[in-house]
Amino acid sequence: MQYDSSQRIPMSAQVTPLLGLSSGAGVMPFFQPRLLTPATGIQRNPQPRTTTSSSPTHQRQPNPLFRSIPEGIISRVEFDQYLMGYFGVQDVHTGTQTEQEEALTRHGGSTTSIPNWQSWDPGASSADYSHIIRAIEDVAETFGTIPTIRTVVFFKISYKPNATGMGVAEPGVGASFGAGRLTIYEAFSRSRAFPNARSDASGTYPAVGVVLAPATGETPGAPRPYQSREYSLRENIVHELGHGIAEDALRADPDVFTKFHRAVGWVGGQLFDIGQPAVANAILTDTLPPSQYQIQANDWNNPQWIEQPMSYYAVDDGPGEDFAEAISAFVYAPSILQQRTPNRHQFILDNIGLWTTRMRSLPQPLQRGDFPLNEEIGRMA
């Protein structure tokens, strides 16, 4: 599928922020969030850009007034400078074994041990660094601000402790976010995609070419198109930034997740089809909705639901992951989000203006005349 550039409002249509960097918490952003246009039914799916590598001997220094978004292969030094100079990140590092083991250790317990631990990061130079930056920039372009990111750390594999105090590998985890800390694992570019349409009883969907292998709960719903490694990487990172937005949203409104649960159908850790009047009425009266309208992970993509989740993960892992998936879809598949689950789409529209008061504003991209010197030029060509 082709990239749907109609889903982005050009930079020239945004309100210009005051120049310079702002701190995160408590600072009003100097421009309004970019509100998306009505659904067009097209999911954006950009292809990887063919760019030349940047020489590590010619580092681009952050400009406090404007930012020139890097593309292609860049050095780790450039990556660190960009994150700290523009995104307000205080610490970027490659994690150590001791650091990861201590993070897994329960309070008051013995230190968790990770056997055969290995270090990892994308290397001295890599296109993945610019892809990570681009993911954060995509959030900035959509909302006008980014979540508060204090630390970025690289580890090879995610682990969780077992009952004996040993770290058990979770090789499918690509990234995580908590307390302002973005952790990126080697698996962060694993393939993923949102459905390409609203699930329909007729089973008639837009052509997608190659489709990701069906997984639990996908059939008979809309298919998920295979997309480039870069695009999957960016979706994975933006999903984690959705957790960062959640942290800032809680600072702006302590009741935000009570409101989110009620708006989209979460009751007692179970998801119900809020599109059903019986469910909406039950939530209004604080009663348990009828069980026949409970959405299970193994039928998340079923056409029977009026308010359709965006992924298996959004249902199986609870409302926090549902929120993060909705943020990622709002950035990369807004028309599909609006078609499948209008309540989630509207909830973001109704509340993002408040959330951004606790998020971080950025200086504008470097421009020459009226045109930004970044990916937008390619989209307008």
DSSP of 262-331: HHHTEETTEEB-TTSHHHHHHHHTT-PPPGGGBPPGGGTT-TT-SS--S-HHHHHT-HHHHHHHHHHHHH
Residue 37: what pLDDT? 35
DSSP one-letter code for 46 = P
Dihedral of CA atoms 211, 216, 218, 220 in degrees, nearest 10, equals 110
**Residue carrying the six token digits 């991209």:** 365
Residue 217 lies in a domain: yes
User: What range defines the domain where residue 109 resides?
Assistant: 5-375
Residue 59: what pLDDT? 53
Residue 60: what pLDDT? 54
HSE at residue 117, side-chain half, CA atoms within 13 A, is: 17
- What is the Cα 189 distance to its own chain's centre? 13
Task: Give me 361's structure tokens.
Answer: 């504003």
Long-range contacts of 206-210 (CB under 8 A, 24+ apart): 206/1, 206/41, 206/42, 208/1, 209/1
- What is the Cα 286 distance to its own chain's centre? 31
Element (H, E) at 368: strand 367-368
Residue 275 lies in a domain: yes
Dihedral of CA atoms 244, 361, 189, 200 in degrees, nearest 10, equals 70
Whether 102 contacts 85, CB under 8 Å: no
Residue 381 lies in a domain: no
Q: Rounded to an integer, what distance in angstroms lies between the CA atom of residue 273 and that of residue 293?
A: 6
User: Tens of pLDDT along the chain (381 residues)?
Assistant: 333 333 333 333 333 332 233 333 333 333 334 444 333 333 444 333 333 334 344 455 666 667 889 999 999 999 999 999 999 999 999 999 999 999 998 776 778 999 999 999 999 999 999 999 999 999 999 999 999 999 999 999 999 999 888 999 999 999 999 999 999 999 999 999 999 999 999 988 998 888 888 888 888 899 999 999 999 999 999 999 999 999 999 999 999 999 999 999 999 999 999 999 999 999 999 999 999 999 999 999 999 999 999 999 999 999 999 999 999 999 999 999 999 999 999 999 999 999 999 999 988 776 433 333 333 323 333
Residue 284 lies in a domain: yes
Residue 380 lies in a domain: no
Residue 32: what pLDDT? 39
Q: What is the number of structural domains in the chain?
A: 1
C-alpha angle 361-228-217 in degrees, rounded to nearest 5: 95
Q: Model pTM greater than 0.75? A: yes
